[in-house]
């Protein structure tokens, strides 16, 4: 069994500025439609939720990078952060062939006024 982890922290203002500067171009490059719909539904706190999902994607990439090789790359949208029925964040991977080597992914996300942070732990089948 192998365990891998990834952590990321980001300033919420950096994500807010990117969204304000690049608008839909930034949003559509980084986030899935499901993620955009969720964040936009958060109204006044939408930038905190965008930043939290951004940090979660970065943390996920760091945690799974050990199974990726030079011939294989992933995009921002290959990693989707959603919520289960209890509101707990979950990670879905799309188009990542090595995904069958992953037993489980656990994620924790938090944010405050200025920062968003995410921690991801991956349990591999081997």
For the beta sheet containing 115-124, the strands, ordered from the edge strand earlier in sequence to the opposite edge, are 2-11, 115-124, 102-111
DSSP 43: G
List the one residue out of 107, 5, 123 whose CA is nearest residue 52. 107
Catalytic residue among 57, 62, 77, 125: 62
Catalytic residue among 71, 111, 113, 125: 111
Residue 49 known to be catalytic: no
Residue 113 known to be catalytic: no
List the one residue out of 60, 41, 59, 63 whose CA is nearest residue 50. 41
Active site residues: 62, 111
């Amino acid at each position: 069994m192998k365990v891998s982890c990834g952590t990321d922290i980001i300033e919420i203002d950096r994500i807010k500025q990117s969204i304000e500067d690049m608008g839909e171009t930034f949003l559509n490059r980084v986030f899935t439609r499901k993620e955009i719909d969720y964040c936009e539904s958060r109204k006044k706190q939408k930038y905190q939720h965008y930043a939290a999902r951004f940090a979660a994607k970065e943390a996920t990439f760091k945690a799974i990078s050990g199974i990726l090789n030079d011939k294989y790359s992933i995009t921002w949208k290959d990693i989707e952060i959603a919520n289960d029925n209890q509101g707990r964040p979950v990670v879905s991977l799309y188009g990542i062939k090595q995904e069958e080597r992953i037993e489980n992914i656990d994620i924790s996300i938090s944010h405050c006024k200025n920062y968003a942070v995410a921690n991801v732990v991956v349990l591999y089948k081997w």
